[in-house]
């Protein structure tokens, strides 16, 4: 395992994306626990995508335009719905309604769903991981699994840091109506921007 892989994987994990936005929104709404549950859901979905990639399904997704487009626009619709719900009613960013955060299972499931509809993850595994596997390596599959496992662990660790940070700052934000309004608009814009970016993603 190279330093280049670790650094590149860290940059990918830290970069704001669908999972980061969801984790932050749940942390601000329900505290550190909700954020960690969101992180778990996003990480579980990453494991699913890794499994698909190792099974060769990601390669099929990469070469089948119709399948890619179907998954992509389902994800776009879901993100735009979240943006609309957040902006209009607070959605998952109704910070003053901790009791309505939902059960642990629901938070985890939403984390899985929001990333499951993101075709960029399996494409990432197909395009990224093979670069760090020597050509004709007899243990290529095992090495890919090891690299993927490191990426999955790093994903949860980074998301957990986001969750703790946002959950800790939650009280200060809740006590400021102005901050609530700004955060709501910021997350709605983030969901919308991610949806638009995903809409223009090419296979």
Is the pTM above the cut of 0.75? no
C-alpha 169/C-alpha 165 separation (Å) is 6
pLDDT in tens, 148-170: 899 999 999 999 999 998 888 87
* 83, 192 Cβ separation under 8 angstroms: yes
pLDDT in tens, 30-52: 889 999 999 999 999 899 888 88
* 100 Cβ neighbours under 8 A, 6+ residues apart: 94
Tell me the Ramachandran region of residue 61: left when phi exceeds 0, alpha when psi lies from -120 to 50, beta otherwise: alpha
Structure-token match 């983030």, residue found: 190
What per-residue confidence (pLDDT) applies to 99?
42
pLDDT in tens, 82-114: 677 666 654 444 554 444 456 888 999 988 988
What per-residue confidence (pLDDT) applies to 119?
67
């Amino acid at each position: 395992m190279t330093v280049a892989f670790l650094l590149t994987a860290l940059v990918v994990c830290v970069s704001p994306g669908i999972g980061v936005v969801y984790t932050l929104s749940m942390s601000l709404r329900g505290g550190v626990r909700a954020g960690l549950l969101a992180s778990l859901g996003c990480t579980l979905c990453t494991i699913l995508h890794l499994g698909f990639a190792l099974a060769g399904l990601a390669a099929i997704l990469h070469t089948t335009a119709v399948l890619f487009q179907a998954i992509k626009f389902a994800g776009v619709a879901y993100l735009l719905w979240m943006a609309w719900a957040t902006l209009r009613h607070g959605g998952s960013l109704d910070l003053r309604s901790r009791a309505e955060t939902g059960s642990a299972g629901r938070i985890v499931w939403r984390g899985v769903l929001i990333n499951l509809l993101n075709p960029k993850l399996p494409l990432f595994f197909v395009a990224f991981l093979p670069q760090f596997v020597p050509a004709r390596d007899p243990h290529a599959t095992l090495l890919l699994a090891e690299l993927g496992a490191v990426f999955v662990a790093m994903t949860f660790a980074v998301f957990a840091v986001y969750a703790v940070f946002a959950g800790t700052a939650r009280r200060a934000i809740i006590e400021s109506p102005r901050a609530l309004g700004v955060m709501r608009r910021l997350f709605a814009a983030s969901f919308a921007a991610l949806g638009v970016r995903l809409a223009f993603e090419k296979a």
